């Protein structure tokens, strides 16, 4: 499932680098995000499409003409991902020297990954 990797990445951003939330006020973001991620994963089970890695097999649970769409859920997930990135900015401004260095290394790795994505060879 492609959505689960991004969901875990967003949770990592909220908890990075200490493994704890920046403050107790961030709990609602995590609860909302977990609820939306759960809805997205469950909705993916009922989408009419071919199964990943098995191009010839249609999804047996897929409902044709289903009103379930992933676009609104993906928009919410992306928005909460931006909010999670904001938590890193707050930690960068108020964290200790070690935390700021860890966040800088994460930013360097993210920049390198962003630059390397367009240069990788296409899938066959």
Q: How far is CA 56 from the centre of its chain?
A: 28
Rounded distance between C-alpha atoms, residue 47 and residue 43, angstroms: 7
18's tokens:
């200490």
Alpha carbon distance 44, 64 (integer Å): 13
Pairing outcome for strands 54-58 and 50-51: antiparallel
The CA-to-CA distance between both ends of the chain, in Å, stands at 19
Hunting for tokens 């909705």 — which residue is that?
43
Provide the 3-class DSSP secondary structure of residue 27: helix
The span from the CA of 83 to the CA of 48, in Å, is: 31
pLDDT of residue 48: 67
| Tens of pLDDT, residue by residue, the chain (124 residues) | 456 677 788 888 888 888 888 888 989 988 988 888 888 777 777 766 665 665 667 766 666 666 556 677 778 888 888 888 888 888 888 888 999 999 899 889 888 877 877 776 666 6
Write out the DSSP string of 52-75: TTEEEEE-TT--TT-S--SHHHHH
Helix (H) or strand (E) holding 1, with range, is none
């Amino acid at each position: 499932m492609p959505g689960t990797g991004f969901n875990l990445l967003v949770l990592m951003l909220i908890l990075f680098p200490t493994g704890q939330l920046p403050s107790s006020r961030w709990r609602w973001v995590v609860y909302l995000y977990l609820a939306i991620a759960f809805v997205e994963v469950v909705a993916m089970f009922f989408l009419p499409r071919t199964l990943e890695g098995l191009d010839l097999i249609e999804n047996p649970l897929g409902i044709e003409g289903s009103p379930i769409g992933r676009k609104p859920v993906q928009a919410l997930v992306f928005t909460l991902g931006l909010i999670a990135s904001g938590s890193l900015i707050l930690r960068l401004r108020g964290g200790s020297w070690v935390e700021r260095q860890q966040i800088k290394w994460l930013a360097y790795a993210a920049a390198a990954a962003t630059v390397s994505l367009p240069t990788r060879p296409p899938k066959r």
